[in-house]
Amino acid sequence: DNLNNAGNNNQQVTVTLKSFNPVYRVVMLGPAGVGKSALTDQFMTSEYIGPTDNTSIDTEEEKIITVQLDGEESTLSFIDPEDDEVDLDETKVDAYIVVFSSNDRNSFDVAVETLHQLREELATDKAIILVANKIDLARKRKIDIEEARSTALKYDCKYAETSAALNHHVDELLVGILSQIRLKQNPELL
């Protein structure tokens, strides 16, 4: 009887420790057509995906993966809202990926407005990465790297250039957002 009880207690401890592994919530922002869903789909195929499979809880607007980085597994939930009217003031959000299309000036203006809202109006200090997507359309490019970079700097964001279509630099974006989240949670790593 005593032995049985001890065994049960051990199981209890295991379950409790596992539940401490948090789910980091990342919101994909940007106007329709910039490639938010394409990027999220590519995240799901990353070579950084860890052994724990969470895909059974995926929905149309929320996709969950585990990422193995620096010997540690983290669970990331990507919120990819269908419409533009996202409630930004989400206390449960850990990071934002603000996407624009590098061949579309209007989408860049929307992204800048979003950065302004996040940093100035909501005064969030959460991790934000500004992403220029569709850089495969190089000849149609409207926003050059200097302008995008200096905008990211102004709003204390990281900057990335991706092509979801070619799966170019998408892994770097995934690793980048997780690194930023970990740094915010553990400032002593800085």
Give Cβ neighbours of residue 47 (< 8 Å, ≥ 6 apart).
171
C-beta of 36: minimal distance to Mg ion in Å? 5
C-beta of 40: minimal distance to ligand GDP in Å? 8
Q: Which residues in the 36-65 window bind ligand GDP by CB under 6 A?
A: 36-38
Query: For the purposes of burial, counting CB atoms within 10 Å of the CB of 173, is it exposed (0-12), middle (13-18) or buried (19 or more)?
Result: buried
* Residue whose CB is less far from ligand GDP, 75 or 167: 167
Extended strands (E) in 47-126: 62-69, 72-79, 95-101
- Note the residues at the interface with Mg ion (CB under 5 A): 36-37
Q: Which residues in the 86-145 window bind ligand GDP by CB under 6 A?
A: 133-134, 136-137
23 interface partner picked from ligand GDP, Mg ion, none, CB below 5 to 8 A per type: none
The runs of H, that is alpha helices, within the chain are 2-18, 36-43, 105-116, 145-154, 170-185
Residue 169 in contact with ligand GDP, rule: CB under 6 A: no
Query: What is the C-alpha separation between 64 and 86, in angstroms, rounded?
Result: 19
159 φ/ψ angles, rounded to the nearest 5 degrees: -130, 140
136 interface partner picked from Mg ion, ligand GDP, none, CB below 5 to 8 A per type: ligand GDP
List interacting residues with ligand GDP (CB under 6 A): 30, 32-38, 133-134, 136-137, 163-165
